[in-house]
């Protein structure tokens, strides 16, 4: 909880070195494995997170875990999000249930995330 790193459990859906090639994933991302497309589309890749909940590392409802690259950009006001146990679902994930499709075709997915998704996501998490 808090600023600690979370050992998030998920089924692998991307190439092993994917984090080195970018942090935001668009629907057409070439790093996604063929079986990964199915797992992501059906949200089956999220099922192992139930073990995170059972272990007390996550809650079912609360702010979605975010990569360090983006939490480093949090303002002092936004840092309160880091004090709440990470979760599997929240208002932001309901508002934007398919982030990858919003980012599909973006020349710079990180920039598109910052402009199109992050402001509303942060507002909903703060709420």
CA separation for the pair 123, 127 (Å, rounded): 6
Q: Please, what's the largest Cα pairwise distance for the chain?
A: 40
Contacts of 74-79 spanning 24+ positions with Cβ under 8 A: 77/126, 78/122, 78/126
Does residue 5 belong to any structural domain of this protein? no
Contacts of 108 (CB under 8 A, 6+ apart): none
* Domain hosting residue 23, numbered range: 18-126
Angle, CA 113 vertex, CA 20 and CA 46 arms, to 5°:
70
Question: Would you say 58 and 87 are in contact if contact means Cβ atoms under 8 Å apart?
Answer: yes
The pTM of the whole model exceeds 0.85? no
Total domains in the chain come to 1
Question: Would you say 86 and 58 are in contact if contact means Cβ atoms under 8 Å apart?
Answer: yes
Per residue of the chain (127 residues), give pLDDT as tens.
454 666 778 888 988 888 777 788 888 888 999 999 999 888 898 899 999 999 988 889 888 888 889 999 999 999 999 998 888 888 988 898 888 888 888 888 889 999 999 999 999 999 8
Does residue 4 belong to any structural domain of this protein? no
Does residue 10 belong to any structural domain of this protein? no
Does residue 2 belong to any structural domain of this protein? no
CA separation for the pair 46, 107 (Å, rounded): 27
CA separation for the pair 53, 61 (Å, rounded): 10
């Amino acid at each position: 909880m808090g600023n600690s790193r979370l050992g998030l459990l998920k089924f692998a859906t991307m190439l092993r070195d994917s984090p080195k090639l970018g942090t935001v994933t668009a629907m057409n991302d070439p790093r996604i494995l063929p079986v990964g497309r199915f797992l992501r589309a059906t949200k089956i890749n999220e099922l192992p997170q139930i073990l995170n909940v059972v272990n007390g590392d996550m809650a079912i409802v609360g702010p979605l875990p975010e990569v360090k690259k983006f939490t480093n950009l949090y303002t002092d006001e936004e840092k309160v999000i880091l004090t709440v146990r990470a979760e599997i679902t929240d208002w932001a994930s309901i508002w934007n249930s398919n982030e990858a499709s919003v980012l599909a075709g973006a020349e710079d997915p990180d920039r598109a995330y910052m402009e199109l998704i992050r402001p509303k996501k942060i507002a909903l998490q703060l709420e």
